[in-house]
């Protein structure tokens, strides 16, 4: 009941430019290893995130190629979960020339594998490329990023993150209280 009320109130406010149910982006990643198509091609480090469509919109992640998440197509914890959105640095690091044909293989099973028969764990289809963004020290170049889909409605994330105009800061703070 509280989740529905929060969703309703957040959607009603003209003060909020974007909002999502997620923690801060700087708290969300793990470093994981991926290889282009298969393990024999060698593994490289990348920051791994799980993000919803609205979360990507809230942080202003910009599409360069392909598509972003689509809530009516993308899923969590199914055989349809093995998709990824990467950034430009990951595309360069892995030598990806065609996202429609090349895939990423992880060293560790996907989070959805534990709920699927025989721990199904194929390589990830790359559905999109986004502009580089930095979550580490700003003096360093952006690291390669691999993003997996998470359905914020299905998994009921506990945090709420908002974006708003700076001039509305006091009003937004009062509204959120």
The answer to whether the CB of 80 falls within 8 A of the CB of 138 is no
46-50, 73-77, 98-102, 131-135: which is most confident: 98-102
Q: Residue 40: its pLDDT value, please?
A: 86
pLDDT digits (tens, 9 = 90+) for 17-72: 777 666 556 566 788 999 998 888 889 999 998 888 888 888 889 999 999 999 88
Q: Residue 91: its pLDDT value, please?
A: 97
Q: Say whether pLDDT at 94 is over 90.
A: yes
pLDDT digits (tens, 9 = 90+) for 115-143: 656 666 688 999 999 999 888 777 888 89
- Distance between CA atoms of residues 86 and 102, nearest Å: 12
In this prediction the pTM is 0.76
């Amino acid at each position: 009941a509280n989740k529905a009320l929060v969703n309703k109130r957040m959607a009603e406010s003209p003060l909020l430019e974007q909002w999502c149910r997620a923690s801060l982006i700087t708290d969300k990643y793990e470093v994981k290893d991926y290889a282009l198509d298969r393990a024999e091609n060698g593994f490289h480090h990348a920051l791994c995130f799980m993000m919803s469509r609205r979360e990507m919109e809230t942080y202003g992640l910009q599409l360069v190629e392909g598509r972003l998440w689509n809530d009516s197509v993308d899923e969590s914890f199914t055989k349809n979960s093995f998709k990824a959105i990467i950034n430009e640095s990951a595309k360069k690091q892995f030598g990806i020339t065609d996202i429609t044909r090349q895939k990423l293989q992880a060293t560790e099973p996907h989070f959805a594998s534990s709920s699927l028969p025989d721990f199904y764990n194929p390589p990830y289809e790359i559905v999109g490329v986004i502009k580089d963004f930095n979550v580490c020290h700003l003096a360093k170049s952006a690291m390669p990023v691999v993003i997996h889909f998470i359905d914020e409605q299905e998994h009921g994330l506990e945090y709420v993150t908002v974006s708003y105009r700076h001039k509305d800061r006091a009003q937004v703070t009062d509204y959120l209280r």
